[in-house]
Chains A and B, each alone.
Chain A
């Protein structure tokens, strides 16, 4: 079955750029959208953005100026870049498949990676 695996540095210095990769296995990255979500320690879920397999993306307005999500269909990977990080960006980062139901246009995140913890240090 389809599995997602997030990877990247667990420690990033303040003001630098956080870069993460989500590798999709067991299925094709095409025909789906892919989302990034983060969860600060002890807090709730925050949507970061998602990208369609075509390459167009939508971002959380509060992060839009610092976020870039890209897709590499040849590698079956989705990438996240978050620039100018601070301690407030310390979180568990998840990637998730953003699927569309077979009828109507209902979208939901049906498959999630296990998440990767990123700590921003000063």
Chain B
């Protein structure tokens, strides 16, 4: 299985801050990496696919980058609705895996 490790596991930040979350794969997954946002009690929502492509309707303050084994999700200026848990997920293998999640909290 391809393991995905996210860092940090939790993060405190303020509205307006720039935040970066990292996802590292146990082997190269080229750019087959997706990012999801999950608010408490809600289903996950697709933000970024193919490492850097913004899903339709997602604000442009979200961006993704990386290839191979190292990837980042950046939120350029945090808004109140962005405080949530973020997951990376790989689709390089037919056996899918998620990262353990990064909880973004209000400072």
**A residues whose Cβ falls under 8 Å from a Cβ of B:** 35, 37, 44-47, 50, 58, 60-61, 94, 96, 101, 104, 106-110, 112-115
Contacts and interface: CB of A to CB of B under 8 A. Distances in A.
**Which applies to chain A's interface (DSSP): helix, strand, loop or mixed?**
strand
A44 B98 contact: yes
18 contacts: A44-B100, A45-B38, A45-B87, A45-B101, A50-B96, A58-B94, A61-B1, A94-B43, A101-B49, A101-B53, A106-B32, A106-B49, A106-B53, A106-B91, A108-B34, A108-B50, A108-B91, A110-B55
Interface size class of B (residues with CB under 8 A): 20 to 34
A45 B55 CA distance: 20
A77 B95 CA distance: 22
A50 B32 CA distance: 17
Interface in B29-75: 31-32, 34, 36, 38, 42-46, 49-50, 53, 55
Given A106-B91, A107-B91, A45 B50 contact: no
B87 A44 contact: yes
A58 B50 contact: no
Nearest to A4: B43
B44 A109 contact: yes
B73 to A, nearest CB: 14
A58 B96 CA distance: 9
